[in-house]
Amino acid sequence: MNIKNIKSAFPIFKQKINGKPLIYLDSANSSQKPQTVIDKISHFYSTEFSNVGRSVHTLAVKATNRFESTRDKVKNYLNAKHREEIIFTKGATESINLVASSFGEKFINQGDEILTTELEHHSNYVPWHFVRQKKGAIIKFAPVNEKGDVEIDEIKKLITNKTKIIAITHISNVTGAIMPLRKIIDLAKEKKIPVLIDGTQGAPHLKLDMQDLDCDFYAISCHKMYGPNGLGILYAKKKWLDQLQPYQGGGGMISEVLKEDVTFASSPTKFEAGTMQTAEVVAFSEAIKFLESLGMENIQNHENEVLSYGIEKLKRNNSVNIIGDPKERGSVICFTMKGIHPHDIATILDDDGVAIRAGHHCCQILHDKLGMPATARASIGVYNSKEDIDVLCSAIDNCKKVFKI
């Protein structure tokens, strides 16, 4: 497969939107799916479907094997040490809720501190807010600077002997800042503080190696990695999973259920209560194959080229104000246009077949700091090209004409 004509692997691009070719610049929200992933879902339901981890009939055993072999594939893809460290969830949101709830229950008490940043998506704040409410904990926010970065020194300043966890994003879904994870994790290690990374915007774009990164928890959205919707992953170090209690109960996650007590299965099963997403997990193996066949370094280089081209071209348009100028930027360009509401920008761009997102992107704290209720966001995926950026820019010019600015 060649990255330059990779659009042909995605059937969605065969259609026109409002009579124009689809220019999809909303992958930070959710990515499109290659034909191989779609075919796998259809094939699984047509020929192999059964619930997993329960029955012993032929289909059930086959489905369970497919499900578990995807776990092995994810383990290898992330270079996790143990397959038990890979837990399937319904998305990064559930992955973070799992950690906040189970880790918070056991290790966070009155007056303890959770250290996060002003850049976070609501998924990496609201679950910690629940812990704050329940346990009387304190949430500290490392400030974002005018470039859209969070400096390591700001994180350092906020660490105290009450800090129980550092929960930070890998890449901001608004400023695009790539966080200095190596420095943050090294610092946390010195202080023996576990680190959770919201890897939602990192995993689709960067090569990951959990053993090298050495974080404690890493949350992933499979639906932003060209995989099926309704699926996420929590990578968690075995030492934590062995100590944590599950945060939801039900079928499949138990060892023994008695009237007097319940004991739980070991990880990952104890964190996967109830019927799991089956076709989604099985088909996610195709999304990994897709990423591996292109190579993460090639994907990164290609996306960086498109991103830099986009930033340069939009900078030349004096009606466009780009949000943030981080030291290292990944995949997103948030912008505003004087006199045009971001929702109007998104609506007018849609007339030209250009799909972007407008709003606060689930980052209200950051938008409050920016003094803006909303921004427009073009985000880049593997299928985008410089030509897509050209179409975006001419759609922005059309927008200017409509609003006479």
Ligand X SMILES: Cc1ncc(COP(=O)(O)O)c(C=O)c1O
Binding residues for ligand X (CB under 6 A):
28-29, 91-93, 121, 123-124, 169, 173, 198, 200-201, 221, 232
Residues 100/194, Cβ–Cβ less than 8 Å:
no
* Vertex 97: Cα angle to 95 and 100 (nearest 5): 115
Instruction: Spell out the residues 6+ positions from residue 374 whose beta carbon is closer than 8 angstroms to its own.
Output: 341, 342, 343, 358, 359, 360, 367
Burial class (CB in 10 A: 0-12, 13-18, 19+), 39: middle
Q: Measure CA of the first residue to CA of the last residue in the chain; give whole Å.
A: 43
Amino acid in position 200: T
We find the least distance from the C-beta atom of residue 203 to ligand X, in angstroms, to be 10
Which DSSP string corresponds to 349-360?
HHHTTEE-EEE-
The residue whose two tokens read 């990951």 is 208
Q: Residue 136 has what DSSP assignment?
A: -
User: Which entry of 362, 363, 393, 399 is annotated as an active-site residue?
Assistant: 362
Calculated CA dihedral for residues 53, 55, 56, 59, nearest 10 degrees: -90
We find the least distance from the C-beta atom of residue 228 to ligand X, in angstroms, to be 12
Which residue of this chain has its Cβ atom nearest to ligand X in the complex? 91
We find the least distance from the C-beta atom of residue 232 to ligand X, in angstroms, to be 5
- Residues in the chain, total: 405
**What phi, psi does 35 have (nearest 5°)?**
-55, -35
Q: Residue 46 has what DSSP assignment?
A: I
CA distance 105 to 131: 8
Closest CA relative to residue 375, chosen from 364, 389, 360, 362: 360
Residues 2/354, Cβ–Cβ less than 8 Å:
no
**What phi, psi does 85 have (nearest 5°)?**
-85, 0
Closest CA relative to residue 79, chosen from 181, 174, 207: 207
- Residue 363 is a catalytic residue: no
Amino acid in position 336: T
Closest CA relative to residue 383, chosen from 89, 10, 1, 42: 10
We find the least distance from the C-beta atom of residue 121 to ligand X, in angstroms, to be 3
Strands (E), 157-305: 163-169, 195-198, 217-221, 232-236, 254-257, 262-264
Catalytic residues: 362
